[in-house]
């Protein structure tokens, strides 16, 4: 009886260990894409999801390139500030938030000008879905690390 119980526990242990290997790769192990590759991937996704024509593709590609360049610049600024151990004041934080909000609104206006009304509504719904996915991933990440 003991041997049967031990064998069953061993099988359960092996089965649970095998399931861990099926999980998605850790964040560090995933392939890192360059900004150009990310932009191209995003452009392809938008093209298939929204049915962009050639003219719209070139305009969206330019907009994505501008956005990623600005994001990289902000990332470098944040890293430099983090390395210097200087905490931003509340006024600086508020100015940064306002700058990001203005940038987001400008990008939205540019996309609205590029896309048709139907494409724009599809684009907005895609963004909402992606926001929800990101929130869910963050909740899962927090659960795993607590």
Q: Please give the pLDDT value at position 6.
A: 73
Q: Has residue 20 been placed in a domain?
A: no
> What total number of domains does the chain contain?
1
Range of the domain at 49: 35-92+100-145
pLDDT in tens, 25-47: 555 556 788 888 899 999 999 99
Which sign, positive or negative, has the C-alpha torsion 51, 55, 58, 64? negative
Q: Has residue 5 been placed in a domain?
A: no
Q: Has residue 2 been placed in a domain?
A: no
Tokens describing residue 121: 């509504």
| Beta carbons of 60 and 52 less than 8 angstroms apart | yes
Q: Has residue 3 been placed in a domain?
A: no
- In angstroms, the CA 73 to CA 67 distance is 10
- In angstroms, the CA 130 to CA 65 distance is 20
C-alpha dihedral, 63 to 46 to 132 to 21, nearest 10°: -110
- Full pLDDT tens readout for the chain, 146 residues: 667 667 666 667 676 665 555 555 555 556 788 888 899 999 999 999 889 899 999 999 999 999 999 888 888 888 887 777 778 788 888 988 998 899 999 999 999 999 999 999 999 999 999 999 999 999 888 888 87
Q: Has residue 12 been placed in a domain?
A: no
């Amino acid at each position: 009886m003991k041997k049967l119980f031990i064998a069953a526990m061993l099988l359960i242990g092996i089965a649970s260990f095998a399931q861990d290997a099926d999980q998605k790769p850790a964040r560090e192990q995933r392939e890192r894409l360059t900004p150009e590759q990310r932009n191209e991937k995003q452009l392809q996704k938008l093209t298939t999801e929204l049915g962009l024509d050639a003219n719209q593709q070139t305009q969206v590609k330019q907009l994505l390139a501008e956005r990623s360049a600005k994001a990289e610049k902000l990332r470098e600024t944040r890293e430099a500030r983090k390395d210097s151990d200087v905490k931003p004041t509340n006024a600086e934080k508020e100015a940064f938030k306002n700058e990001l909000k203005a940038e987001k609104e400008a990008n939205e206006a540019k996309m609205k000008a590029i896309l048709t009304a139907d494409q724009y509504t599809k684009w907005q719904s895609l963004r909402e879905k992606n926001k929800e996915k990101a929130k869910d991933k963050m909740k899962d990440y927090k659960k795993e690390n607590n």
